[in-house]
């Protein structure tokens, strides 16, 4: 299933947040959306996920989700959003409980996503026993459990330290390489974007409009943190974003 955003515009009262964003997310692609703080990235993701409707424009789903997909779209948030009283498997199971599937199938799915996210030894642990990186692996496992057509990730690594972020990036690449998924990945972190994005969409400061789109055709599994080509892409993205970020930073807070 592809997603097509057609001429999305949005205002909250008189605050213009998104301006004329059109974009296609093709099946099997990771599309990263970058832009300065407050430019409308999370808002755009909420429109894609159907949590909110834009003032104008539309989001189209082209084609059908996979036959065994339980939810076409799933989210991963910066703050993990785990239920503290539920174990790792209990949190993953949560995504499955609203669906009429057999206990055996539920167990099979849980085993599969635990293995894919390297959590098999932690299934009985509670969130408070886990590091931030492990908590985010649980949230990713929960998102994968429903076999979504598109995963929507909102700054998934932004609450983690640099080393944990690096490990999670490696895990995400590994996950994608073994079983490609479609994702919209919102981040303000350009290093993440060039490591994980097949396509990187750069938004301007608010109201967010597409400044440019960069395609990187190096396979995800061949991307290294110190790859000079990726570094050049990152510098180019920063050149585009720097002026936007300075202007956004100096803007008066809208109260």
Among 11, 26, 42, 61, binds Mg ion (CB under 5 A): 42
d(CA 119, CA 188): 27
**Closest approach of Mg ion to the CB of residue 42, in Å:** 3
Instruction: Please identify, using beta-carbon distances, which residue of 39 and 141 lies nearer to ligand ADP.
Output: 39
How far CA 253 is from CA of 34, 72, 232, in Å, comes to: 21, 36, 33
Strand pairing of 150-154 and 73-77? parallel
Q: Rule CB under 6 A: say whether 38 interacts with ligand ADP.
A: yes
17 binds ligand ADP (CB under 6 A): yes
Whole-number Å distance between alpha carbons of 41 and 35: 7
Which one of 206, 216, 234, 244 is in contact with ligand ADP (CB under 6 A)?
A: 206
Residue (20 or 166) nearer to ligand ADP, CB: 20
Q: Which stretch binds ligand ADP (CB under 6 A): 39-47, 59-67, 145-153, 225-233?
A: 39-47
User: Judged by CB under 6 A, which of 37, 55, 120, 177 binds ligand ADP?
Assistant: 37
C-alpha to C-alpha distance for 96 and 71, rounded to whole angstroms:
10
Beta carbons within 10 angstroms of residue 78's beta carbon: 18
Q: Return the structure tokens found at 194.
A: 């060039």
Least distance (Å) between residue 16 CB and Mg ion: 17
Task: Identify the three-state secondary structure at position 126.
Answer: coil
Q: Where are the alpha helices (DSSP H) in the chain?
A: 41-49, 88-97, 103-116, 132-145, 162-178, 190-196, 228-250
Instruction: Return the number of other C-beta atoms located less than 10 Å from residue 249's C-beta.
Output: 11
Quick one: what does residue 105 bind among Mg ion, ligand ADP, none, with the CB cut-off 5 to 8 Å set by partner type?
none
Total length of the chain? 255
Alpha-carbon distance of 29 to 159, in angstroms, equals 24
* Minimum CB distance to ligand ADP, residue 194 (Å): 19
Among 1, 40, 89, 137, binds ligand ADP (CB under 6 A): 40
Partner in contact with 199, chosen from ligand ADP, Mg ion, none, beta carbon below 5 to 8 Å by kind:
none
Give min distance, CB of 57 to ligand ADP, in A: 15
Q: Which of 8, 39, 169, 200 binds ligand ADP (CB under 6 A)?
A: 39
Binding site for ligand ADP (CB under 6 A): 12, 15, 17, 35, 37-43, 206, 254
Binding site for Mg ion (CB under 5 A): 41-42
């Amino acid at each position: 299933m592809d997603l097509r955003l057609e001429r999305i515009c949005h205002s909250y009262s008189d605050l213009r947040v998104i301006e004329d964003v059109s974009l296609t997310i093709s099946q099997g692609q990771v599309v990263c959306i970058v832009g300065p703080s407050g430019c409308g990235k999370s808002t755009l993701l909420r429109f894609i996920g159907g949590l909110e409707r834009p003032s104008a424009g539309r989001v189209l789903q082209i084609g059908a989700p996979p036959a065994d997909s339980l939810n076409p779209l799933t989210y991963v948030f910066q703050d993990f959003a785990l239920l503290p009283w539920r174990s790792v498997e209990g949190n993953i199971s949560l995504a499955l409980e609203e669906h009429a599937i057999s206990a055996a199938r539920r167990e099979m799915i849980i085993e599969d996503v635990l293995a894919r996210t390297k959590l098999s030894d932690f299934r009985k642990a509670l969130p408070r026993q886990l590091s931030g990186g492990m908590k985010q692996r649980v949230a990713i496992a929960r998102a994968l459990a429903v076999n979504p057509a598109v995963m929507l990730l909102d700054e998934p690594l932004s609450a983690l330290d640099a080393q944990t972020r690096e490990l999670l990036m490696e895990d995400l690449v590994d996950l994608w390489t073994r079983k490609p998924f479609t994702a919209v990945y919102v981040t303000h972190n350009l290093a993440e974007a060039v490591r994980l994005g097949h396509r990187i969409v750069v938004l301007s400061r608010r109201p967010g409009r597409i400044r440019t789109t960069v395609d990187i055709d190096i396979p995800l599994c061949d991307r290294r943190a110190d790859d000079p080509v990726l570094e050049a892409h990152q510098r180019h993205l920063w050149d585009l974003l720097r002026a936007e970020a300075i202007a956004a930073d100096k803007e008066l807070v809208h109260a």
